[in-house]
Every structure is written in structure tokens, then in C-alpha cells.
């Protein structure tokens, strides 16, 4: 199979978490033939008051230029160090691009606009680190990237898990099939990638908030049969798409587990037990289930020591 180019945008700032993200890319690189990387750094904000004063005050204008120059120098160091780390890790220098720009609409929107405009296949970000206010990162930047991206998948890297296996959480929906498609595209040409498709069997309450005490048993049985028929068809289609990407059938596994706890917790617990370092999910679930958005957020927030791929 001819090597297919895959282009990822790596949002870097020189922090520890940014380096962890770069290390993750290097660790899974053997599973991503044809990988091209763009290191992207959004520069720090210029003081708004100084920007206003610079229009009238020559001294303020000179100070603004000095701050802008420092921001550019910092960006150059961050990009240079990040590029050197990728090259030392085995990525060819001509497969790495570096871009910096002043902050325009905010870090998250600037990253998303760049990724969409330049047609990148994924945005890769450390779980913390695109701002010096790291305590705010989980609640703001990651959430904004995952909430506002409509086209480009987001990979949120956390921890130093060395396992290269992938878990795709599926529910039979079109969006979870898109998650399978994204993973299949990224690993095309790497037949030995271990991939597990996981379905957590839902309860009736996951599909309906009303408590039907007298009829829930019968309704739940109908739901279970319908869910199983849907998943049987889905599994066949998903596995076929992975095979079309060149994966060996012996490395593709489909598993179902009963829901004895929260769905998100069940997904992460399965990943932990099986030693799978990357969890892949579609943002939206099947039309009848209102739980999927909460599950996705839970997995994103609790994916300690593993990486979370969100496919919009």
C-alpha cells in the first residue's frame, strides 16, 4: 500500500506538558507512516493599554515594539527546541514545519482556524501548557478546543504511557464510525497496530430520563436486542474499514462490556486493564442516547496517563 501523507498541527509553548506531547508523537510515530508535523506557537498577548497608548505616545510605541520582539524571540526558541526534539526522535527535518503568529482571537480559536484553513488531519496539544496559567488549562483551553472544533480531530496528551495500543469507544452511531475512520486513516500503512473497538452496553436509563418502573424491563429488553443488532452491523463495517487501511485482522478486536458503573469510567477502566494508551471517541453518540456528551467530557477530563482523541 502506497504511503499516505498525514499532517498534524502540534500546539507548542515550551512547557513540560508540551514536551510530553511531543514525546507522545515520537512514541506513536512508527504507527503513523507518512507523518508530517507543523509546530505552531501562538505568541503571548500584548498589553491592551500599551497597544492603545502606542497610537499616540512614541515611548509607548517603542515599548510595544520591544515586547513584540521579545515575544518573537521566545517563539523562535520554543519552535527551535521543539523541532530539535522531533529531529532527535527520528522525524526527518524536511517533514517538520514551524509557524508562529501573534495572538488574534484567543489561543484556542487561533489554533482551530490554522488547522482548518491549512487542512490538517489533527490538532495535538498537551493537557496543560498553552498558557502560563496552567491551573486554568483543563477548564478553559482544552475544553475550548474540544468544544469548538467542528472539522479537525483534537488529540489531548496526558502522561507518559508507553503503550501504543488504541481503544475506540463505539456505540453504533455515525459519529463513532467517523472515529474509526480517523484512526484508520492515521494508521494506514502500519498493519501491526493493536486496535480494540469497545462497546459499553447501555442501560435503558441512558436513553430515557423517565423512570418507567412497571415497563422498564420489557422496554430494556427491546433496547438490548435493538442495540445488539445495531452493534453487529457496526462492528462488521468498522472492522472492514480497518482492514481496508491495511491492518492485520489479528490486531483488530471487538469487545463488549456490561455497564456496572458509569460509561466513561467503564471505558477508562477497560483501557487501564488492557494497557491501552490512547482512547479514541466521537463527540456525539447515537440519536437516542443523551449520555454521550457527558461520557465524552468525563473521558477527556479523567484520561490521566493516557491520550484522548476527540473526533467531531
144 against 34, higher pLDDT: 34
Using CA atoms, how far residue 196 sits from 84, 151, 212, 253, 267, in Å, is: 34, 24, 35, 5, 11
pLDDT digits (tens, 9 = 90+) for 71-87: 899 999 999 999 999 99
Task: Give the pLDDT band (50/70/90) at residue 193.
Answer: very high
pLDDT of 50: 57
Question: Is it true that 6-156 and 166-311 share their CATH fold?
Answer: yes
pLDDT digits (tens, 9 = 90+) for 247-299: 999 999 999 998 777 889 999 999 999 999 999 999 865 544 434 578 888 88
Residue among 38, 14, 219 nearest 120 (CA): 38
Round to whole Å and give the CA distance between 247 and 14: 35
Query: Domain locations in the chain?
Result: 6-156, 166-311
**6-156 in CATH: which number?**
3.40.50.620
Question: What is the pTM (predicted TM-score) of this model?
Answer: 0.85
Q: At a CB cut-off of 8 Å and minimum separation 6, what does 268 contact? A: 279, 299, 302, 303, 306
Q: Are 274 and 306 in contact (CB under 8 A)?
A: no
Residue 131 has pLDDT above 50, yes or no: no
**166-311 in CATH: which number?**
3.40.50.620
Percentage, residues of the chain above pLDDT 70 = 77
Q: What would the grid cell of residue 187 be?
A: 494508521
Amino acid at each position: 500500500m502506497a504511503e499516505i501523507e498525514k499532517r498534524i498541527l502540534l500546539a507548542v509553548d515550551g512547557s513540560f506538558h508540551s514536551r510530553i506531547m511531543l514525546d507522545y508523537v515520537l512514541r506513536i510515530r512508527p504507527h503513523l507512516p507518512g507523518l508530517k508535523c507543523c509546530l505552531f506557537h501562538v505568541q503571548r498577548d500584548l498589553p491592551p493599554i500599551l497597544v492603545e497608548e502606542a497610537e499616540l505616545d512614541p515611548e509607548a510605541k517603542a515599548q510595544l515594539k520591544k515586547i513584540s520582539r521579545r515575544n518573537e524571540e521566545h517563539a523562535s526558541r520554543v519552535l527551535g527546541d521543539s523541532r530539535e526534539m522531533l529531529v532527535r526522535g527520528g522525524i526527518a527535518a524536511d517533514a517538520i514545519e514551524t509557524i508562529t503568529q501573534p495572538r488574534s482571537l484567543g489561543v484556542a480559536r487561533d489554533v482551530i482556524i490554522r488547522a482548518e484553513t491549512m487542512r490538517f488531519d489533527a490538532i495535538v496539544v498537551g493537557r496543560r501548557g498553552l498558557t502560563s496559567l496552567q491551573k486554568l488549562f483543563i477548564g478553559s483551553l482544552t475544553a475550548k478546543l474540544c468544544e469548538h472544533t467542528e472539522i479537525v480531530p483534537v488529540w489531548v496528551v496526558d502522561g507518559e504511557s508507553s503503550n501504543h495500543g488504541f481503544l475506540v469507544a463505539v456505540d453504533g452511531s455515525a459519529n463513532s464510525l467517523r472515529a474509526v475512520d480517523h484512526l484508520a486513516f492515521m494508521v494506514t500503512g502500519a498493519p501491526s497496530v493493536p486496535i480494540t473497538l469497545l462497546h459499553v452496553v447501555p442501560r435503558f436509563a441512558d436513553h430515557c430520563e423517565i423512570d418507567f418502573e412497571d415497563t422498564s424491563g420489557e422496554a430494556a429488553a427491546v433496547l438490548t436486542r435493538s442495540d445488539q443488532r445495531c452493534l453487529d452491523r457496526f462492528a462488521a463495517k468498522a472492522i472492514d474499514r480497518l482492514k481496508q487501511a491495511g491492518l492485520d485482522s489479528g490486531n483488530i478486536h471487538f469487545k463488549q462490556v456490561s455497564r456496572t458503573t458509569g460509561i466513561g469510567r467503564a471505558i477508562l477502566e477497560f483501557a487501564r486493564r488492557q494497557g491501552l494508551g490512547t482512547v479514541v471517541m466521537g463527540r456525539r453518540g447515537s440519536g437516542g442516547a443523551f449520555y454521550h456528551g457527558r461520557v465524552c467530557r468525563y473521558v477527556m477530563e479523567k484520561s490521566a496517563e493516557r491520550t484522548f482523541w476527540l473526533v467531531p
